[in-house]
Amino acid sequence: MNQTMEQTVYLNSDRVNLESINQFSNDKVHCQLSDQEGFVNHINQGADFLQKTLTDKGIIYGVTTGFGDSCDVAVSEALAMQMPKNLYTFHGCGTGRFLSPAQSRMVLAVRLVSLCQGVSGVRYELLQQLVSLLNHNILPIIPEEGSVGASGDLTPLSYVAAVLCGEREVYYQGEVCNAKDALRDVGIIPLQLKPKEGLAIMNGTAVMTALGIEAFFRAQYLAQLNARITALASIALGSSPSHFDEFLFSVKPHPGQQQVAAWIRDDLQSGGTLFDAGRLQERYSIRCAPHVIGVLQDILPWYKNTLENELNSANDNPIINADAETIHHGGHIAFVMDSLKNNVANLSDLMDRQMALLVDVKFNHGLPRNLTGAESSVQAINHGFKAVQIACSAWTAEALKLTMPASVFSRSTESHNQDKVSMGTIAARDCLRVLELTEQTTAATLMAAIQGVQIRVRQGELKWEHLGSSLQTFISDVEQKVPFLTEDRALDQEIKQVAKLIRQQHWNLYG
One domain for residues 180 and 61:
yes
Decide if 61 is catalytic: yes
One domain for residues 222 and 154:
no
Kindly state whether residue 510 falls inside one of the protein's structural domains: no
- The CATH code of the domain that includes 12 is 1.10.275.10
pLDDT band at 83 (very low <50, low <70, confident <90, very high): confident
d(CA 490, CA 51): 65
Given the residues 61, 159, 221, 510, select the one marked as catalytic.
61
CA atoms within 13 A on the CB side of 422: 23
Residue 433: is its pLDDT beyond 80? Answer: yes
Q: What is the mean pLDDT of the segment spanning 367-385?
A: 94
pLDDT attached to residue 3: 43
H/E element, 10: strand 8-11
Residue 403: is its pLDDT beyond 50? Answer: yes
Whether the link from the prior residue into 270 is cis, omega within 30° of 0, is no
CA atoms within 13 A on the CB side of 82: 6
Q: What is the mean pLDDT of the segment spanning 325-347?
A: 79
Task: Work out how many domains the chain is built from and give that number.
Answer: 2
Residue 1: is its pLDDT beyond 50? Answer: no
Q: DSSP per residue over 305-320, as a string?
A: HHHHHHHTS--SSSEE
Kindly state whether residue 403 falls inside one of the protein's structural domains: yes
d(CA 410, CA 421): 5
Kindly state whether residue 511 falls inside one of the protein's structural domains: no
One domain for residues 46 and 121:
yes
- Helices vs strands, H then E, count in the chain: 19, 9
pLDDT attached to residue 326: 45
Contacts of 499 (CB under 8 A, 6+ apart): 436, 439, 440, 442, 443
Residue 238: is its pLDDT beyond 60? Answer: yes
One domain for residues 351 and 312:
yes
pLDDT band at 56 (very low <50, low <70, confident <90, very high): low
d(CA 199, CA 182): 24
Kindly state whether residue 347 falls inside one of the protein's structural domains: yes
pLDDT attached to residue 151: 66
One domain for residues 146 and 98:
yes
CA atoms within 13 A on the CB side of 252: 15
Domain with 128 in it: 8-204
Q: What is the mean pLDDT of the segment spanning 205-210?
A: 94
Kindly state whether residue 2 falls inside one of the protein's structural domains: no
One domain for residues 265 and 121:
no
pLDDT attached to residue 39: 97
- The CATH code of the domain that includes 498 is 1.20.200.10
pLDDT attached to residue 487: 95
Name the domain boundary from 180, 204, 228.
204
Q: Which of 166, 198, 191, 211 is nearest to 67 (CA)?
A: 198
pLDDT attached to residue 93: 95
Residue 448: is its pLDDT beyond 60? Answer: yes
Sign (positive/negative) of CA torsion 305, 310, 313, 319?
positive
d(CA 289, CA 261): 8
One domain for residues 274 and 191:
no
Name the domain boundary from 181, 204, 227.
204
Name the domain boundary from 175, 204, 233.
204
pLDDT band at 315 (very low <50, low <70, confident <90, very high): confident
One domain for residues 170 and 241:
no
Kindly state whether residue 230 falls inside one of the protein's structural domains: yes
Least confident of 11-15, 84-88, 123-127, 188-192: 84-88
One domain for residues 166 and 257:
no
One domain for residues 180 and 301:
no
pLDDT attached to residue 270: 73
Kindly state whether residue 325 falls inside one of the protein's structural domains: no
Residue 66: is its pLDDT beyond 90? Answer: no
pLDDT band at 330 (very low <50, low <70, confident <90, very high): very low
Q: pLDDT tens digits for 252-306? A: 899 999 999 999 999 998 766 788 887 778 899 999 999 999 999 999 999 999 9
Kindly state whether residue 445 falls inside one of the protein's structural domains: yes
Asked whether the beta carbons of 458 and 275 are under 8 A apart, the reply is no
One domain for residues 227 and 192:
no
